[in-house]
Amino acid sequence: MGADVVVDHTGDVPGQLRAAGVDQVDLVLSTSGTAANVDWIAEILRPFGHLAAVDLDGALDVGPLAAKSLSLHAENVFSRIGQGRILAELGAGRLRPITTTVLDGLTVDTMRAAHELVESRRTIGKVVITV
């Protein structure tokens, strides 16, 4: 996967990092559950570190971030006019999604299987249903 350390995001992330010899990090990219995880995210970030989040659509307690002078970078895809065009140009044949599971046919069974996989929170990459 290109990572030095892989952690289970459903477990004790700071503990897993410490066990791997990593006390703090410079940057966290959070794509899901940022508001619920802000305490442990702030714990593992070095002072003046950076949190980049793409899922902020509600309230976020920034107290844990402010206490360590952390920077918050928030982005919402398509928040800028022309964002879709920019993404299309950037990905024109160069960016490919990481697809690990392909289910054949749009049926009740494949929909159920896809939901079970995603709800397990254990998948790596995309689950795709071909039509």
- Express each pLDDT in 29-70 by its tens digit: 998 889 999 999 999 999 999 999 988 878 999 999 999 999
Task: Please tell me the total count of domains within the chain.
Answer: 2
3-state secondary structure of 54: coil
Same domain, 22 and 86: yes
Same domain, 23 and 81: yes
Q: Which domain holds residue 54?
A: 1-95
How confident is the model over 78-93, as pLDDT tens digits? 666 677 777 777 767 6
Q: Are 50 and 40 in contact (CB under 8 A)?
A: no
Same domain, 15 and 73: yes
Strands in the chain per DSSP E: 25-30, 45-53, 71-74, 99-104, 126-130
Which candidate, 12, 64, 54, places its Cα nearest to that of 29?
Answer: 54
Same domain, 64 and 89: yes
